[in-house]
A and B are shown apart, each in its own frame.
Chain A
Amino acid sequence: MTPILDIKNLYKNYGSVEILKDINVAIEPGDFLVLVGPSGCGKSTLLNCIAGLEPITAGTIDIGGRDMTEVSPKDRDIAMVFQSYALYPTMSVAKNITFGMKVRGVDQATQEKKLNEVAQQLQIEPLLQRRPGQLSGGQRQRVAMGRALVRDPKLFLFDEPLSNLDAKLRVEMRSEIKKLHQNLNATMVYVTHDQIEAMTLATKIVVLKGGIVQQIGSPAEIYNKPANLFVADFMGSPAMNLIPARAKANGSGTKIEIERAGAAPLVLTDTHAKDLPEDVILGLRPEDIAEAGFRAGEDVQEADCLIDMVEPAGADTYVVSQLGGKQVTARLHAETNARSGETLPLAFDLSKVSYFAPESGKRLN
């Protein structure tokens, strides 16, 4: 199958400043691609490049098997939803949605039909005669989606569409976008700085930092096997524990030593890891450290740890301990007996462990 969007060796400079460096991404029809990264990483610029709103410095962009690198936005068969919604303020909702069709010279009857379809789908029929100024944030969001939907494009582009909504509405709209994606079987490219949005929506995630792709993969790949320290730290909340440790070859496996202030080093044995350098950074997500006895498996190892802090969060209780000079968070069940200032046996699930090189930050296993 030919990819519906194929970006090859894309570079984007503003003057002498490199915004995007050697971007290579391809997605299949029906994919939901999320571009995620901190502010200023170039993710919105990349989306604008895909839309044709920003010229690119080098490389090619194919959409639907055609080279669209030099094609103007209106001929790329795309629709876009903007962060500020960018609704035309003096037009009614109906006119906002049909403006594109009017510009392209679609006949009145078809316009009417499509408008009604979309209005029904998004449940905005009672709003059609209102102006954008008379709508709430969530309603504007729907209208902006409606404007994209009537186009029935090859590619939907979303530029942080939920960032102006309050927390509750954001979760609602998020699941609505997901539903929309499933129902339409549409291909979408979605920009966000919110890693939870990325995890919940994507079939494929691109993590960007400083205009360079850090990792491309499914949400599970990104979450379980982050390619470097940046991805490990950026994806997941609370963040992955990144603990400085010393590795020593030990038979077929590796002995991992973690320094502890005022106590003997914590020693774990990883039976799978091989050929690690002496200094490593061990990455383990909070949910992979449990209370002893609550996690079974051949790679689970237990050790007593001094608990510094206990944070009940309803469904779970997080406990914090000092390991290797870092605050390490473990996610325990809600009814735990952990007390701050006391030791508690914790279970480390080494089947989920990641190792990183301290200098380059690259993944080692």
Chain B
Amino acid sequence: MTDIALTTAHSPSRNWGRIALRWLLFTLLGLFALFYLMPLFVMVTTSLKSLEEIRTGSLVAFPREVTFEAWRTAWSGACTGIQCEGLRPYFWNSVILAIPAVLISTILGALNGYVIAQWKFKGANLIFSLMLFGCFIPFQVVLLPMARTLGIMGIAGTIPGLIFVHVIYGIGFTTLFFRNYYVTIPQELVKAAKVDGAGFFRIFWSIFLPLSLPIIVVTVIWQFTQIWNDFLFGVSFSQAGTQPVTVALNNIVNSTTGVKEYNVDMAAAIIAALPTLLVYVVAGKYFIRGLTAGSVKG
């Protein structure tokens, strides 16, 4: 009896404490979320305002009158230097640059990782270390040699040239991802397939590739984000017609004369960021799963 009396006497206060703690936690988390969402909020609302309203209203206020004029301008009318075609042509430049560059670097990384992890040869570790080292070379260091190389190959200032640069620079990362993933797969699998009569590519195609979805997703997200968001290679190795969207965005923001069109700038920035956002939303849950996949065996 005394036990029951004791517990009933104690539990309400303890419950209150727990509830208060939970509320405090959620309030804090909510505040942080608002804080991080603030810039996006400002960008979206500003892009929907007219220039007049931006001048007179507050930065964080909702638009009094929603207009998509700034978006239209950013997409197809804003001036990047002397041309006034908006982001559209450069957006497509980025698309036809990013897709092949992501695919090629992912495929090469998968093959490299497969060889280094499962077909050990003399010097495999040295080659892997060198590739890893390649991940840490700063962009600026490769600019001049790369410019020479592109010139010699005759693809300087072209989109294939940019694809080449991104593939070369990406191989280190993609190889690292795939190698670390494949190294967790028991070597007996390759042995069994060899006894079954399968060769190098057959084993890769029939056994390793079907296992690789999580790491492919990780690699594609990583590479797409890197390549889409790249500015330095884009600005260094492109010319007038072949600039990627990041360079065009910079030009739009920097080349306005007279009144600064904040609404157009904001809309253009959102457009330029949209594809990477989309990739995260679509494939994000695989991203975390893929990053931790190696550590837990199924």
Asked if A53 is at the interface (CB within 8 A of a chain B CB), the reply is yes
In the complex with contacts A88-B206, A89-B211, A90-B210, A74-B186 CB distance below 8 A:
no
Asked if A41 is at the interface (CB within 8 A of a chain B CB), the reply is no
Identify the 7 closest CB pairs spanning chains A and B, nearest first: A100-B196, A74-B197, A90-B210, A86-B192, A86-B188, A82-B188, A103-B197
CB B116 to nearest CB in A, in angstroms, measures: 19
Q: How far is the CA of A73 from the CA of B206 in the complex (A)?
A: 19
Cβ-Cβ contact count across A and B, 8 Å cutoff: 59
Q: Is the interface of A mostly helix, strand, loop or mixed?
A: mixed
CB B183 to nearest CB in A, in angstroms, measures: 15
Interface string of B191-203 (1 = CB under 8 A from A): 1111111100010
What is the interface of chain B, defined by CB distance below 8 A to chain A?
186, 188-189, 191-198, 202, 206-207, 210-211, 298
- A133 engages B197 (CB within 8 Å): no
Q: How far is the CA of A51 from the CA of B207 in the complex (A)?
A: 21
- A88 engages B207 (CB within 8 Å): yes
Q: How far is the CA of A83 from the CA of B194 in the complex (A)?
A: 16
Q: How far is the CA of A189 from the CA of B193 in the complex (A)?
A: 19
Residue from B188, B195, B210 within 8 A of A73 (CB atoms): B195
User: Chain A contacts of B197 at CB under 8 A?
Assistant: 74, 100, 103-104
Least CB separation from B185: chain A residue = A89
- B192 engages A82 (CB within 8 Å): yes
Range, interface on chain A = 20 to 34
User: Chain B contacts of A88 at CB under 8 A?
Assistant: 189, 192-193, 206-207
Q: How far is the CA of A217 from the CA of B272 in the complex (A)?
A: 76
Least CB separation from A100: chain B residue = B196
User: Chain A contacts of B196 at CB under 8 A?
Assistant: 74, 99-100, 103, 147
CB B214 to nearest CB in A, in angstroms, measures: 12
CB A97 to nearest CB in B, in angstroms, measures: 10
Residue from B186, B206, B211, B298 within 8 A of A99 (CB atoms): B206
13 cross-chain CB contacts under 8 A: A53-B191, A53-B194, A73-B191, A80-B191, A80-B192, A82-B188, A86-B189, A89-B211, A91-B210, A99-B198, A100-B195, A100-B196, A104-B197
User: Chain B contacts of A89 at CB under 8 A?
Assistant: 211, 298
User: Chain B contacts of A149 at CB under 8 A?
Assistant: none
Q: How far is the CA of A74 from the CA of B192 in the complex (A)?
A: 10
User: Chain B contacts of A100 at CB under 8 A?
Assistant: 195-197
Residue from B186, B210, B211 within 8 A of A84 (CB atoms): B186
Residue from A82, A83, A84, A103 within 8 A of B198 (CB atoms): A103
User: Chain A contacts of B186 at CB under 8 A?
Assistant: 84, 86
Asked if A79 is at the interface (CB within 8 A of a chain B CB), the reply is yes
Least CB separation from B298: chain A residue = A133
Residue from A74, A90, A104, A147 within 8 A of B194 (CB atoms): A74
